[in-house]
Amino acid sequence: MPPPFVHLWHADLAAEHPAWGPAEATLSEAERDRQARFRTDALRQTYGRAHGFLRAVLGPYAGQQPAELALVAPGPRGKPALPAPVAVAVQFNLSYRAGRALLAVSNEWAVGADVEALHPMTDALALVQELFSGPEQAALRATAPGAPWEALFYTIWTRKEAYAKALGMGLSLPFAEFSVLGPGADRAPWLAAPEGAQLLGFAAGPGHQGALAVLGAPTNVVPRHFHFPDDFESSYLI
């Protein structure tokens, strides 16, 4: 039985690599049907590669062939999981955007992941007013416009998303009622986490911000980062 771990797998969905063909070939019939409903080739490629990546990486953790993985969602808003009893030993969460995917895997704790492309958002202020807590809104008001504001916005947003996904609630969680920032001794904001959670932020490839949430770990978790497919053939101590 390996010691408790959290692994973070990164994938560049835009990079051409021979691994994508075999990975996409493992998609289930339901996944292929959903992939076909996307309106553009780019969207179909993103979906197919992200879910092929998920299956390729998750299969060895679950002790199953990627094409044989049965992924279930407990309830309309529940995050995908492996069926019992494997779900107890292998917990995971996938996040992806055009060109980039992030997969968190743990053998002990519920995890949530989020990845976002760093670019100006036309609806950012509306999101802040609706979904950010008072301390988070105050910190953004005190931040210089432009790159500093956007950097803080994405730091907050990815951490909130990762926490909601770890809980399995997504946007059904009342985002404005919890904060990932707190006041420091000098009244400047500092990164915080809701009780019982650990939140980590990091660069998730060029032009992307990532975040990880881990629930219930008794001490600080230091995740190990891997890249698909480069690290896939090496031993990653599962």
Instruction: Show the DSSP H helices in 3-132 as ranges.
Output: 20-24, 29-36, 41-62, 86-89, 124-131
Class of domain 1-109+221-238: alpha beta
Instruction: Show the DSSP H helices in 142-238 as ranges.
Output: 147-167
Question: Residue ranges per domain, the chain?
Answer: 1-109+221-238, 118-196
Encode pLDDT of 154-190 as tens digits.
999 999 999 999 998 877 889 999 999 876 555 556 8
What kind and span of H or E run contains 125? helix 124-131
Q: Give the separation between CA 228 and CA 87, rounded to whole angstroms.
A: 22
Encode pLDDT of 212-236 as tens digits.
999 999 888 999 999 999 998 754 4
Cβ neighbourhood burial of 222 (10 Å; 0-12, 13-18, 19+): exposed
Taking the model in full, what pTM does it have? 0.93
Q: Which of 22, 96, 8 is nearest to 66 (CA)?
A: 22
